[in-house]
Structure 1
Amino acid sequence: MEKLISSDLYCPFSSQINKNIDFLEEYSLEWVLGFNLLANESSYQRFCKSKFFLMAATTYPYCNFQELKIANDWLSWLFIWDDQCDLSELKTKPESLKAIHKRFLEILNGAEVTSHDIPLSHALSNLRERMLEKASVKWLNYFLCGFAKYLYGCFEEANNRVYGIVPDTDTYITMRRLSAGADVALPLIEFCDQLIIPDFLRKRDIFKQLNEITNNLLGWSNDIFSLSRELATGHVHNLVFVLHYQHKIPLEEAMNRAIEMHDCEIKKLIYLEANIPSFGEEIDADFAKYILGIHAWIRGNLDWYSFTARYKTVEMLELAKY
C-alpha cells in the first residue's frame, strides 16, 4: 500500500521553523524519560524515530523556548497516549478508557497526583503547573474543554471497534475533529505566542469556522499519510478507508477523493480569511498572529511527514500497566 501514500497536498503557506530547534532536539527526550513515559525499548525507539520535536518546532515557529518546550511535551504526551488508544489492548476497552480519561481531567483541573496514578497522569500534573506559570486559569479552562473533546474522540473510536462499526462519511468527519487533537494544538498557539483572543471572538462563527477547517485539514492529512499503517492494523477510522468502504470504490480512488477534499478545504480557509471583518486594532493584531499560527500548523504538519518514520512501520504496543 506504500504507493497509495501521497504528499501531493495543496498548501500555499511557507515553511517556518523555530530558532530554538537545536535546543529542543537536545531537550526532547528529557521530559518523557523523566516521567517514565517510554516503558520499554520498543516505545523508546518508536518515540525517537517519530521526531516530535520537529513537529513542535515547525508548528510553533514564533514562540520562546520555554513555551516551545511545553508545546513539545504536550505533543509528545498526545502521541504516546494516541498509541495506547490505537495499538494496545485499550483500543477495544472503551470503559477502561473512560475511567482513565476521568482521572486525567481531574488532575488537569487541579487534583493532587498520588502513588496510585500512572506516569501519564504525573506528566499531566507537571504540564498544568508549568502552563499556569504563564497562562490564566480562564485560558486553561478553555484549553481543557478542547482536551476533553480529544479524549471523547478516543473513547468513541474504541466503542466503534468493540461493535465493529465503520462510520458513514459525515459521522466520521465529525468524529475525526474530536480525535485529531487539533482542539489541543490550536489553543496552544495562543499560549505559545502569548495572544489574547477575547470571549466574544471565540463565539463568532468566523473563528469557529477557521478552527473547524484547520481541524479537518490536520485530521485528513494524517489519514492520508497513515493509511498504509492503519490498513495493516485493521484501523477503520481513516477518511480514505471510510470513503472506500461507504462508496465501494477502490482505495486509490478513495485516496484521490480524500486529497481533493483536503485541497478544497484549504481553498475554503483562504476564502474565509479574505472575508474577516475588523474587530479593532489590538484584537485584529492578535487574530492575525493566530491565523499565522494556523498556517504554521498546516504547513509544519505536512513538512513533518517528510521526516518522521512514525507511519512507515507497523508495531503493536504492550499494554501499559493501568
Structure 2
Amino acid sequence: MRKEVMGSHDYVQTLKGQKLRFPDFDHLLRTWPRGMSPHYEALKKIHEEELPQLLGPGSKRLEAAIAAEFSLNAATWWPTSSFDAVRFASYLVAWLYVWDNETDSPEFNQDVCLNLEAGEKFRAETREHIKAYLDDGNWGRYRQRPRTEKISSALASFNPVGEPAAFRMTSGQRVLFLRQLLRFVQATAYEQRSELSGVAPTIDEYLPTRMGTSGVETISACIEYMVNIDLGDCLRADPDIQTIYAENNCIISMMNDVFSLRRELRLAVLYHEYQDLQPAMGQIYEIVKASVSRLDSAAERLLERYPDRRGDLEAFITGAKTMCTGNIQWSIRNKRYNLGFSKCDGTAEIVI
C-alpha cells in the first residue's frame, strides 16, 4: 500500500530522537579483502588543489565535495590499483556526487530539482556530453571540436573521467561503462518523478530505481580497468559475472542507505512499512547477507568453470569485494556522514 510522503523536513521530525544500532557488517564481510591505497595522501592533495577550480572556491558544491572525501573513497575501494587508476576512480565518484546533487538537492540547483522539464533537459545535455567521450561514433567529433564551450561545473566534472576512459579503456569496457552511465542518468528521472509526485514508492518500486541511482553499477563497470585486466566480451557477458555486478551493487547500495541515513533518509521507504527504524535496519541486513552469499557462490562457479582465466577472474572478484569492504571504511570515516564510530561490529549506535 502506498503512503503519502511527508517531505524531508517532516521525516526528520518524525525520526528525530530515535536510537539506531548498525548491523555487524564487519563480521559479515570478515573473509573479504580490504586495504588502503598507498596513493591516498598524494590523491588528497590533488583534490585539495583541483576541486576548488572545478566547483568554485567557497561554494556549497565544494563544501559538500570536501566532506564526501572522494580521495578516501577511491583509496579504500581500490587499495591495490595504480595511481592513475585510483585518480580516475576518485574523479568518477566526484562526478557522481556533484552531478547527482544537481538533480536531487534543491540547495544546489532548485530550478532543476523542482522542475521535471528542466531535469529532463539537464539529463539530455548530460547524455550528449558523456557520449562525446565514450560513444565510438562520437569520439572522432570530440577530438576535432574546439574545447572552449561553456558548460556547467556538473558537466565539466565529468571531463577528468571521460578523457582517460576514452583513451585507456578497451572498446568493450567503454561500451559497458557508457551503458551504466546512461542507466544512472535515466534512473534519476524515475527518482525525480517519484519525488515530485508527493507519493512514497513501495519497496518493490524503490529497490530497482535505487539500484540505478546509487551509481554503484557505474563504478563496477570500471572494475576491469581498475585492476588492469580485460575479460573480453564473452566472459564479460557470463551470467555469473552479471551476478557479481548485481550483488555488488545491492550490497553497497543498501549499505549506503544505512550509513547515509542522517544525511539522505532513504531508509524512510522501509520506515513507512515498519514504522520503526530498527526492523528496517534488520531487513537491510538480511538483503545484504543474501547478496554476499550469492556473490561468493558466483565467484566459486566462475573459478571452477574457467581455470584458464583464473588470474583475471581472481583480480575481478577481488576488485568487486574491496569495493564493498572499502565502502564500510570510507562510510565510517568520511565527514559527510559524520557517524562517530570506528567499527561496524554490531555495537555502533547513533541517535537520529
* TM-score class, shorter: 0.7 to 0.9
Counterpart in the other structure of 1:252: 278
Tell me which residue corresponds to 1:97. 119
**Consecutive unaligned residues in structure 2, runs of 5 or more:** 1-15, 133-141, 340-352
**Cα distance between partner residues in 1 of 2:72 and 2:282:** 28
1:39 Cα deviation from its structure 2 partner: 6.3
Give 1:149-164 correspondences, 5 Å limit.
149-164=183-198
Contact 2:91 2:160 in 1 (8 A): no
Residues 70 and 127, structure 1, Cα contact 8 Å, conserved in 2: yes
Establish whether residue 285 from structure 1 lines up as the match of residue 343 from structure 2.
Answer: no
Contact kept in structure 2, 1:278 and 1:284, CA below 8 Å: no
Q: 1:133 aligns with which of 167, 170, 194?
A: 167
* C-alpha spacing 1:5/1:230, structure 2 compared with 1 (3 Å): farther
Q: Deviations over 1:116-159 (max 9, x none)?
A: 42123233234322222322344222211100111111111111
After TM superposition, the structure 1 = structure 2 runs for residues 215-254 of structure 1, keeping only pairs within 5 Å, are 215-231=249-265, 238=266, 240-245=267-272, 247-254=273-280
Structure with max Cα Rg: 2
Aligned partner letter, 1:241: A
Paired residue secondary structure (1:4): strand
Inter-CA distance 80–39: structure 2 relative to 1 (3 Å threshold): farther
- Identity across matched positions, percent: 20
Contact 2:73 2:326 in 1 (8 A): yes
Q: Which amino acid aligns with 1:279?
A: Y
SS of the aligned residue for 1:133 comes to helix
Q: Quick one: which of 199, 203, 216 aligns to 1:165?
A: 199
**Who is 2:292 aligned against?**
266
Q: Which amino acid aligns with 2:35?
A: Q
Alignment of 1:1-322 (within 5 A): 1=16, 3-4=19-20, 6=22, 8-9=24-25, 10-12=28-30, 13-34=32-53, 36-38=54-56, 40-88=58-106, 89=110, 90-110=112-132, 111=142, 112=145, 115-231=149-265, 238=266, 240-245=267-272, 247-276=273-302, 277-281=304-308, 283-312=309-338
SS in 1 for 2:168: coil
Aligned to 2:350: none
- Change in 2 beyond 3 A, CA 1:126/1:49: closer
SS of 1:214's equivalent in the other structure is: helix
Q: Distance in 1 between matches of 2:230 and 2:105?
A: 38
Cα distance in structure 1, aligned partners of 2:102 and 2:23: 27
- CA shift, 1:86, in A, is 2.5
Q: Distance in 1 between matches of 2:293 and 2:121?
A: 40
Q: Distance in 2 between matches of 1:177 and 1:141?
A: 19
Q: 1:254 to 1:91 in 2, by over 3 A?
A: same
Q: Distance in 2 between matches of 1:280 and 1:31?
A: 44
Name the CA distance, whole Å, in 2 between partners of 1:101 and 1:285.
39
Deviation at 1:185, TM superposition (A): 0.7
CA distance in 1 between partners of 2:171 and 2:296 (Å):
33
Q: Aligned equivalents of 1:136 and 1:268: distance in 2? A: 28
If the length of structure 1 is used for normalisation, what is the TM-score? 0.86
Q: Is the 8 A contact 2:274 2:280 kept in 1?
A: no
Q: What is the aligned-residue RMSD (CA, Å)?
A: 2.2
TM-score, L = length of structure 2:
0.79
**8 Å Cα contact 2:88-2:160 kept in structure 1:** no
Structure 1 unaligned blocks of 5 or more: 232-237, 314-322
CA offset digits 1:84-117 (Å, max 9, x no partner):
2222223333332222222222122225565342
Question: Are residues 128 and 229 of structure 1, via their aligned partners in 2, closer, same or farther at CA, if it must alter by over 3 Å?
Answer: closer
**Residue identity matched to 1:150:** F
Runs of 4+ in 1 over 4 A off after TM superposition: 111-114
